[in-house]
Structure 1
Amino acid sequence: MAFITSKQVTIAYEAASREEALHYLAEQGVALGFAEDVEAVYQAFLEREAIAETGLQDGFAVPHAKTDAIKTPGVAVVKLANKVEWPSFDKQPVDIALALYVPAGEAGTTHLRLLSQAAVMLMKADFREKVRASQDPEEIAALIDAGLAG
């Protein structure tokens, strides 16, 4: 089963801020059928951002939303046209976000498994370089799918 397909990957999205990128990802969560309420998902992203940074390193972030508004766990990726300020471990701006959508009832299981797999694959420099170099949603989806499958 694929975690992610090319329709879950957006290339060169124009966002002026982290908040704009997160709002777009909330809209994507609804468009992709993971959730039904854009504002509830957006608020869940913002609440998680307020706890600790979701920016990792080299311009990558893993924002995640856990809420009852999310009905099906899912993943979406957005490659921004330009880097935006985003609190991150290496204090660098972000231009690639791998968003996780988690139903509140699955917060412990699905969420932790997806988050740990995402963190592991994003620690690999060759993975980050391949995703950064690609402008092909199919290729990016395949790279991420393989990483999330472990």
Structure 2
Amino acid sequence: MSEYVPVEHVFLGQSAGSVDDVLRLMGALSVKVGLATDEEAVYEAFTAREAEGTTGMTGGFAIPHAKSDAISKAGMIVAKFDEGIEWASMDNVPVTCAIAIMTPASEAGTTHLQLLSRVAVMLMNEDFRTSVLATNDAEEISHLVNNALDEQ
């Protein structure tokens, strides 16, 4: 099974007032879990990507993603929010779950694209979305995401 989302990379009960707050949180968490060395550089990579077009998807999910030299290894962080965040999305539903993808700049054309593609496909699965949103168990979310990544 893939380990892009170990249980330590799942953060429940988070709070954010805006997309910018979420991106700052992801920058800080990327350093906390050991994926990156510079939270500000990661935040800037997230905001640069968001400026190109929204990463809000459907059903309350967003997939912010960043490529940066400050990211030392590819990985993902899942954050669930107690309150919906207004985020431009395909269905205008506030985001309650962000699945962030972080990769070193050197893996932009390979690992980054593969992870982004896999996450986009798994978010098309209504059962997956429903299961993730229905649980507040970090271990279960880790299992759901890693299994879905393996199925791609």
- TM bin, normalised by shorter chain, reads over 0.9
Q: Which residue matches 1:56? A: 57
Cα distance in 1, alignment partners of residues 50 and 93 from structure 2: 16
RMSD (Å), alpha carbons: 0.8
Per-residue deviation at 1:103? 0.5
SS in 2 for 1:7: helix
Runs of 5+ unmatched residues, structure 1: none
Q: Which residue matches 1:100? A: 101
Q: Which residue matches 1:117? A: 118
Per-residue deviation at 1:91? 2.1
Structure 1: 4+ residue segments shifted above 4 A:
none
Q: Which residue matches 1:91? A: 92
Runs of 5+ unmatched residues, structure 2: none
SS in 2 for 1:115: helix
1:1-150 aligned within 5 A: 1-150=2-151
Cα distance in 2, alignment partners of residues 77 and 142 from structure 1: 12
Cα distance in 1, alignment partners of residues 84 and 92 from structure 2: 12
SS in 1 for 2:109: coil
SS in 2 for 1:91: coil
Contact kept? 1:53, 1:89, Cα under 8 Å: no
- The one-letter code of the counterpart of 2:75 is G
Could you tell me the percent identity over the aligned residues? 45
How high is the TM-score relative to the length of structure 2?
0.96
